[in-house]
């Protein structure tokens, strides 16, 4: 007598690599290639709040300062092969 096969579930757990402010060498969780990450700076809500505070308390030309400084932005890391998101370094 043959028993029916019961499908089994396979759980794949992918660890998010730790990334810093500079490009990092990681294994991409999407394409599994060993790559040097591509870093893109992104303005956040905090960047906009700092610009607003500078406008209110100093003067309007100071609004540009947070948008010109990388230290006021998050750094998003992407795989250069498949363009998959890898992680974010928050300032």
Q: What is the pLDDT of residues 54-91, one digit of tens each?
A: 988 888 788 899 999 888 899 999 999 999 999 999 87
Map out the domains of the chain as residue ranges.
Answer: 25-89
14-33: burial string, b at 16+ Cβ within 10 Å, e else: eeeeebeeeebebebbeeee
pLDDT recorded at residue 89: 92
Write down the pTM of the prediction: 0.73
Look-up of token digits 């990334």: 19
Residue 88's alpha-carbon distances to 23, 25, 28, 36, 58, in angstroms, are: 11, 14, 14, 15, 31
Q: 37 vs 19, which has greater pLDDT?
A: 37
3-state secondary structure of 90: coil
The answer for residues whose C-beta is within 8 angstroms of residue 61's C-beta and 6 or more apart is: none
Closest CA to 42 of 77, 17, 10: 77
Closest CA to 76 of 64, 67, 86: 86
């Amino acid at each position: 007598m043959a028993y029916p096969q019961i499908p089994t579930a396979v759980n794949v757990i992918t660890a998010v690599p730790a990334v810093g402010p500079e490009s990092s060498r990681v294994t991409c969780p999407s394409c599994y290639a060993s790559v040097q990450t591509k870093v893109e700076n992104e303005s956040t809500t905090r960047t906009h709040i700092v610009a607003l505070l500078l406008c209110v308390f100093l003067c309007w030309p100071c609004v540009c300062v947070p948008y010109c400084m990388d230290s006021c932005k998050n750094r998003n890391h992407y795989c250069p092969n498949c363009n998959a998101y890898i992680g974010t370094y928050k300032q």
